[in-house]
Each structure stands twice: as C-alpha cells, then as structure tokens.
Amino acid sequence: MPVCYGYGEWGALIPERPPLLMVDRLALQGDGVAVGVKAVSMDEAVFQGHFPGGPILPGVLQVAAMEQVAGALVRSIAGTEVLPWLRALRRVKFRRPVTPGDLLLVKARIQESVGGTWTLEATAQVGTETASSGTLVLEQRRREELLPPPEPVPAPLPEGLAGTAADTIRILGMIPHRFPFQFVDRLAVLEATRAVGIKAVTGGEPWFAGVSLPLFPGCLLVEASAQTACARALTVPENAGKIGYFMSIDEMVFAGAVRPGDVLVMDVDVQQRGRFGMASAVLAVAGAEVARGTMKFAIVDPP
C-alpha cells in the first residue's frame, strides 16, 4: 500500500521549505517509486520574475520538484539522517510550458543504487502530457564536507573579470527575468560567442529561506548559467524582442557547494544556429570549479 503524506506531513523526508518547496503532496508507492503533486498557482512569487506578462514555471523548478521527490524516496529507504546531495543531471528535457492553474505530477524511480550513490529517472506531467523528464544522480555527503569553515574574506575575482561589460541595468534590457528570479548581477565579459556572468551570493536572497543547508541550490546554478547564455544570445540583433526557451540540460555535474558570501563566476560559451543554440558552462568560486555542463535552448517570440 502507498504511504501518503499531506503538505508538511513528510517530516525529514523533504527538508526544503517555501519558496523552494515544490511538493504539496507525496506518496511513497513502494518498489523504489515515489510520486509528488505540485499545484501551480499565480500567487507564487516566482511569477513576478518568470516572466512578467507571460507567467511560466521555470524548468529548473520542475527539476527542484524532481530532486525533492527523489530525495524523499532515498531517505525513506536509506534513513532520514542521510544527506542526498545533487551530484549530476543528465538528459533533462523540457517538453511543454507549465503555467498557473496546472497540476504537476512528479514521479521518481530508483534505477540504480551503488554505495552512497543513487541514480533515479524522473518525470513531471500535466494531465497526460510530459512537461519534463530526466536522470538525477544523488550522492550521500556529510554536512562537514558541504559546509567547511569559510575563509574570513573571499578571494578576489580572477584577473580580467573585475571590469563590467554590462551592469545590472543593462542586463535588465537583455533578458526578461526579474526579481526574484534574476541570477546575473553583472557581465564581466561579453564577446561574440562567450559571456562571463557574475553572481554575488548573499543569505538575504529569498531562496535561502527554503533550503535545509545554507547552500545555493544546484537547480539555481543551472538557471544562472542559462541566464548568462540568454544574455549573450539575446544581444544578437535578429533576436531582439525575443526570449530564450530552455529545451534541455544535456548534462550538469556539480563538484562543489556555493554558499552566502561567495562570488559565483559563470563562464559560458554560446553557439547558435537559426532559432536553436547550445551553451557550455563552467561555474567557479574563487577559481575552484563548482559545476559544469551543457544546455540547449530555442529563441522564441514572447508569450
């Protein structure tokens, strides 16, 4: 028999809280399967910034829903003291927009469990249509690994990144994202096929109210990379007035944690052919790589 939980009844299985909590109901179905439900409402603050005039649930928040259902499933089997950390995303595809009024059904199934690593297949559906799907790799980590004592003063930015190719105000004219879903503060480099975005990470951001540990969520690292790529792509004259639509995360591997006080550097190479493009991103803090991956996007007219 499935074990079903109403909102907040899952205890330590899902430690996230609003505004990052993306599960309203949870069912553990047995045989390594869990299902979550997310009712998508216009009342959520994310729609102020994604996008004004055309609300769409960000694809990375669908990934957050998958991660939370997957994490609950892992904890239900391995124990609530387990800390499953998102190690990688693979072949994540976004197939249809999710908009206010939709009911999102999120399913996660364990494909493989080796030592302290779990590989899960996940889908998010609206009715009979698949909104997104992909593979998640969760890895058991210790709290002290993710939260070592911080440096008293963060290291300066690498040489060549102190300048400004585009400040916050100019970026607002490049991309449609707005608070609370804009994750690029400055562009240090803006070249023909490359952009380097800078993101100052502070504990005052609303998303930190929703995490179990004071770490910048992996799904938002993906979004920060995508927004940097979007800023590069939308400065091309023929793309003026359009928006970037996230098609897929081919792979994103997370190597380290990002925490308040860090300055995140997103070095993104963008290749576009017609309406479609690919972005390869390397993310670093104080010169140390924290994530890297590739994504695909389409340039479309705004809704």
pLDDT digits over 9-59, tens only?
Answer: 998 999 999 999 999 999 999 899 999 999 999 999 999 999 888 899 999
pLDDT digits over 90-103, tens only?
Answer: 999 999 999 999 99
First to last CA, the chain: 43
> Does the pLDDT of residue 154 top 80, yes or no?
no
Whole-angstrom Cα distance, residue 258 to residue 260?
7
Instruction: Band the pLDDT of 70: cuts 50, 70, 90.
Output: very high
Domain(s) labelled CATH 3.10.129.10 in the chain stretch across 3-143, 151-300
Which CATH superfamily does the domain covering 151-300 fall into?
Hotdog Thioesterase (3.10.129.10)
**Out of 3.40.50.970, 1.10.3210.50, 3.10.129.10, 3.40.50.2300, which CATH number does the structure's domain 3-143 have?**
3.10.129.10
- Mean pLDDT over residues 105-124, rounded? 97
Whole-angstrom Cα distance, residue 303 to residue 171?
20
pTM, entire model: 0.95
Q: What is the pLDDT of residue 65?
A: 98
